[in-house]
Structure 1
Amino acid sequence: MTTTRTTMADSTTEAPDGVAGGRLVVSARVRIIGWMVGVLALALVALVFLTWEVLSARADAAADKELTHEGNKFRAFAASPAAAQFTRPEDLLDRWLQSNLPDDSEALFTIVDGREFHRSQGTPPARLDTDPAFVKQLAGATEPSYGWVDSTAGKVRYGVIPVRIGAQPVRAQLVVLEFRDVIAKPSIDAAKALVVIAAITLVLAAGACWLVTGRVLAPIRQLRATAERIGETDLSRRIEVVGNDDVAQLAGTFNTMLDRLEEAFEAQREFVDNAGHELRTPITVIRGHLELMGDDPAERAETKALVLDELVRMNRMVDDLLVLAKSERPDFLQLDEVDFTELVVEVVAKARPLGDRRWRVHTTADAKYVADGQRLTQALMQLVSNAVRHTKAGDRIEVGAHLDADGSALLWVADSGPGVAPDDRDRIFDRFARGNDQRRTDGAGLGLAIVRSIMRAHGGDVRLAAGPGARFELTLPPVEVPHR
């Protein structure tokens, strides 16, 4: 079988209808990139979100830590001997404000008698001491308290510490402000940089995916372009397999499928041609005799007998054709354990009425084998029937079976007739093939083809052994069942 090879690298020129296929490849490429970029985008969003949450939590913790630190410093100062000289809380607070310079992210101010009194040095990020509502909210504090408040500089963590000297009632408070967003500014800048990096990464990943998927799908596109050239009338083209990756394996599988398709189409074409030729002859004979049939009763009876004989032959031919057609189906065989001894004895018993021959069971194998017993019987009976037609009364016909050590099996039918002519030995297994001796080949030439189909369905074959007479051997692969 001549096969034309088409190299994948040379198959980029598409058939006229390749535009739709190209669009499908591009669509698949876009979908793949969409999925990959989508997954990457979700991962980056999750990364940015988690990073921001961690940084935000750290900023909150830093604000609390600074607030606690300032409170502890003020309590230590209020308990020091230097603070004992003050008799008024506002004087104590002023001394504290003068001796403490707040950081850029914090501010201090005092409340005396319900009003903002003084604030720390420097310019705070936001002026909360000028917010009457906020000052009023903290002015009544008699116990230390903490909380959050919004400002023009973002979230602010505040703490208010009431100040009392001796038994005097509380009339002053120290307010400590920690500007959380100012503390978190480095973290916010890092998060923004992370967002920019993530966006750039996403764009670069999309571009890389486009290039990579293009290279990955290029062999598929070439495979499709080559496949489009392969039509029902020309199944000889094949795809050159280069490498050992998944695409190469796909090309190899595609070539194997084309081999099976080409064989099936060739077999179908030959089968239909031969079947049409074989059925055309009896139909022509029947039609001709019916058209020429007269009114004479003897002539009508003779024509009727001839027509019925041709119809019987056609019916047998159709049955044989159905068997050959079914042999390609997966349910052609009904596997079960077959006892070779019972099989051989049964075939000889059935064959005895076919002719006056010296029937003999030559050898049997005392073992069981997994096969279709009915199909094996059909194959052996076909060989026995051929042997009867090609021998005469008193000739020997023997049937036997043998099991090899490796589990393979051999069945055979042998006779002492004239054997098969050398010119016929290679073609008698073909469909509709007949021997050159037309006197003994009145069938349609499907018998041995059926035998071969049955054996190949079992994974074996049929062969004609050399020697005197005719010896047909049926081979079976090693699937023997252990002795019982």
Structure 2
Amino acid sequence: MRKLYLRIYLAVLASLAAFALASGVLWRQLGDAGPAGHAFEVAGTLAQNVLPPAPAPTAEQQAALEKLAANLRADVALFAADRTPLAAVGAPLPAPAAGRDRGAWLRPWGGGPAAAIHLPDGRWLVARAPRDRRYPGFPLFFTLALIALAVGVGAYPVVRRLTARLERLHSGVESLGAGDLSARVKVEGHDEVARLAESFNRAAARIEELVGSHKSLLANASHELRTPLTRIRMTVELMKDSADPKRKRDLEHDIGELDALIDEILLASRLDTLTGRDADEEVDLLALASEECARYEEADLDGEPVTVRGDPRLLRRMIRNLLENARRHGAPPIEVRVRRAESAAELSVGDHGPGVPESEREGVFQPFHRSAGAREGAGAGLGLALVRQIARRHGGDVRYLARQPSGSRFVVNLDASPQGGVS
């Protein structure tokens, strides 16, 4: 895409060229009708007063023309009203065009410009200065070209300065969008671009403040929630045999779910606000999947060793969430496959449950999404949202595929390390 400063700069140059061209055309078309035309009329009257009348013999007119041109060192020709030559001094000159009725400049090809002066009695006097005294057309053109070049060179830094400020503003917006909440742009000048930069800085400061408040709220809430959870857990342990075993198991399950929910909320918030990874190392995806599948009796693992670069803790959480989702919402067996697909590592987790309705297949990756037919205790709806966040944090993504006749299959694609990488 062409840079904005180039577009503005080219527009300035095009406007300059169009102005010069229009000025030249107007000067050529209308120049003879202004003060120059009046000068031609005055010269015609003076020439008629010096020259013999039109009916005079040709020899008399020739002698008068030679006397007129004696000190001019110019080519001069006298034509009758019907453009027939009457007398001439020096090199031949062209007669004025038949349709012309006023004095003007003649610009024939192969020669310099000549002045055609219309005498009041209808005759035409055409004169052209010698070459060493003619109008310097090329030097004038060269001078105008230098002026245009100077204007173009002078306009470039002005245009570049304007667009450079816009580019810095664009970089600030990109940095803010990438998660750098401290991104600000320098305010330069007092024009619309400066006011836009000020507005951006105010908006960025407000966003940083809101996100900071959000993070502080989550941290405080997690601390405040974990404290009573710890007390409840200790109370359950102290109850031992004095409580109903079923009620005790249910209470322990509820505490575990609430504790897991707090962990998932905190992890989702951290992934939203941070751009980098806490760890960056070579990870054997098959070995990691094998360790997680060992936690589930109904999980069946197959595949080939594939190495990816990333945070092993986040990748482990991604696999665990996929397995937990298959256990909660699907039906055994859970099939886990790891393979290399060209330059990508592919992890798929499938089950034989009822599947996901077509209208909800993209919504399952939204935070706190709950399907219409979800069973009680089916989770808070953050598991698959975290899977997508973790996959995208590692340069990949996750998608849902339906299985026939029933079942679900979630496929994660990640950037694979070159073959031969060390895990």
Instruction: Bin the TM-score by the shorter chain.
Output: 0.3 to 0.5
Whose relative contact order is higher, 1 or 2, with alpha carbons under 8 Å and at least 6 apart? Answer: 1
TM-score normalized by structure 1?
0.39
TM-score normalized by structure 2?
0.43
